[in-house]
Amino acid sequence: MRHLKEGSYVEVVSLPDDTKVRGIMIPCSDKKMLILKQDSGYNVGLDKKKIKEVKVLKKNKAEIKVVGSRKIKHNKKLPVVSVLQVGGTIVSKIDYSSGGVIAKMDASEFVNMIPEVGGVVNLRYRKIADIMSEDVRFGHYNLIAKEILKEIKKGVKGVIVTHGTDTLHFTSAALGFILGGVGVPVLLIGAQRSGDRGSSDGVMNLVCATHFIVKSDFKGVGVCMHKNLDDDACVILPGVKCRKMHTSRRDAFKAVNAEVIAEVSRDGVVRIISRWNNEKAAKDVKLFKEGLKVGILRAHTNLFPENVSCFKDYKGLILEGTGLGHFPARSYDASSRINEKIGEEIKKLVDDGCVICLSSQCVFGRVNMNVYTPQRELVEMGVIGCEDMTTETAFVKLAWLLSNFKSEEARNMMTQNLRGEISERSEVEGDFL
């Protein structure tokens, strides 16, 4: 098969039953396998030892080239919005002659991809990182914040950050705490569907984010993602009060225990829904300590003391409890007696200086540590209730506090509303999904 070239459209006949598969040959690191991108768009791997025959139906005449950067003409009369690439799929593209991703878009390609905003704003595009969102660490929060501040000093109208969706809400919360009442809008966007699919959502998220920055007076950190499954509008969500609620739907992100800030139609109509009060500027920028150990432990049935004691070297821990704020630490019979040991391990961590806070797995609603006796016992151990913060925001907030304040100060500040992360009251009526 040495004569075969990647990008050729072939028909492969495989043993033992002469199965025929057609597709474009794409690169494969395993020399024993042949990978084809089928007409359906899905890839299939074939064992070369079992291949009986390969027919080349169409040779690959295309050459894969990396496009060089070109200067973008700016209209001096229009405001400037900076787009910082951290990750996500919006800047990748597929070369269908080879079936593989061939290049990252340069700035001019990126702007040409969204002609809808050409007469509204000048886009300044820059890559600052290229990382899958599940691999993000505290150091990346610091990097993104510093680069945002660089853009703000240049006098931009706002900043858009492209980010993978899986931990986008962690990063939006982190930037909210680092930047405080930043004087311009900072919006994180992502894409649930890759750019080579007809259902891709990244471009519209970018278009709507741009319109919102130019046409609103919002200041602070937010998230711009699809409102629903259609391509008619996006919503602007508070960066410290939102969460990814679905693995693949385009409208996966929802506001949690808060209203959305605005809706933005694809043609640029902005409808403000709630006034987000996050304009109090921080005196100075406080970053994360990159080596700080803060953990999350989810409550479940049949926990063991070792599930808690393994955090003995950590400075902070979020217990994601059940319901109003429960965590197994009490015995009721012989089978549950081991739960007392769990309580003892929690108390040990607190006594050793670990700041422990408790959120709820329910996502929506509020933790109340005063309703049941077991909850009050947790409070007596030194566990702090997280009010109506999501687990992710509570985790980020605790890590940020411990990075910049002494443990006792951090304990006291966890229940203070610093960036709009804690609502004054919890709404129990209305649709929450």
State residue 32's pLDDT score: 85
Asked if residue 153 has pLDDT above 90, the reply is: yes
Average pLDDT over residues 103-124: 67
pLDDT tens, residue by residue, 341-363: 999 999 999 999 999 999 999 99
Share of the chain above pLDDT 90, in %: 64
Average pLDDT over residues 424-430: 65
State residue 96's pLDDT score: 47
Average pLDDT over residues 78-103: 68
Share of the chain above pLDDT 70, in %: 83
47 closest CA partner among 79, 89, 71, 16: 16
On the question of a cis peptide bond just before residue 305, with omega within 30 degrees of 0, the verdict is no
62 closest CA partner among 113, 2, 9: 9
Structure token pair of residue 289:
């300590």
Asked if residue 187 has pLDDT above 80, the reply is: yes
Asked if residue 312 has pLDDT above 80, the reply is: yes
Structure token pair of residue 259:
């209203």
Asked if residue 23 has pLDDT above 90, the reply is: no
Task: Please state which of the ranges 189-193, 216-220, 281-285 shows the lowest mean pLDDT.
Answer: 281-285
Average pLDDT over residues 7-21: 89
For the chain, domain boundaries:
9-58, 80-272, 294-413
Helix (H, G, I), strand (E, B) or coil at 380: helix
Asked if residue 254 has pLDDT above 50, the reply is: yes
State residue 202's pLDDT score: 82
Q: Is 400 exposed, middle or buried (0-12, 13-18, 19+ CB in 10 A)?
A: buried
pLDDT tens, residue by residue, 412-422: 999 999 999 99
Give the residue, 279 or 427, on which the prediction is more confident: 427
At 118, the pLDDT band (50, 70, 90 cuts) reads low
Length reported for the chain: 433
Structure token pair of residue 194:
């890759």
Task: Please state which of the ranges 271-280, 291-300, 406-415 shows the lowest mean pLDDT.
Answer: 271-280
Structure token pair of residue 36:
């084809």
On the question of a cis peptide bond just before residue 16, with omega within 30 degrees of 0, the verdict is yes
Determine the Cα–Cα distance for residues 326 and 419; give it in Å rounded to an integer: 26
Q: Is the dihedral of CA 122, 128, 129, 133 positive or negative?
A: negative
Q: Taking a C-beta distance cutoff of 8 angstroms, is the pair 133, 165 a contact?
A: yes
Asked if residue 1 has pLDDT above 80, the reply is: no
Q: Which residues of 227-239 are buried (b: 16+ CB within 10 A; e: fewer)?
A: beeeeebbbbbbb
The top-level CATH class assigned to 294-413 is alpha beta
163 closest CA partner among 268, 91, 255: 91
The catalytic residues are 89, 165-166, 244
pLDDT tens, residue by residue, 314-335: 999 999 999 999 999 999 999 9
At 199, the pLDDT band (50, 70, 90 cuts) reads low
State residue 182's pLDDT score: 87
Note if the pTM is more than 0.85.
no
Asked if residue 100 has pLDDT above 50, the reply is: no
* Mean per-residue pLDDT of the chain: 87
Q: Provide the CB-side half-sphere exposure for 113 (13 A, CA).
A: 23
Helix (H, G, I), strand (E, B) or coil at 187: strand
State residue 63's pLDDT score: 34
State residue 67's pLDDT score: 36
Topology of domain 9-58 in CATH is SH3 type barrels. (2.30.30)
Task: Please state which of the ranges 5-9, 130-134, 296-300 shows the lowest mean pLDDT.
Answer: 5-9
Determine the Cα–Cα distance for residues 174 and 188; give it in Å rounded to an integer: 12
Determine the Cα–Cα distance for residues 141 and 396; give it in Å rounded to an integer: 10
Domains 80-272 and 294-413 in one fold: yes
State residue 230's pLDDT score: 86
CB under 8 Å to 412, separation ≥6 — which residues? none
Residue 377 amino acid letter: E
At 59, the pLDDT band (50, 70, 90 cuts) reads confident
Question: Distances from the Cα of 421 to the Cαs of 39, 289, 395, in angstroms?
Answer: 47, 21, 12
Q: Is the dihedral of CA 396, 149, 238, 249 positive or negative?
A: negative
Architecture of domain 80-272: 3-Layer(aba) Sandwich (3.40)
Asked if residue 70 has pLDDT above 80, the reply is: no
Q: Is the dihedral of CA 153, 158, 163, 166 positive or negative?
A: positive
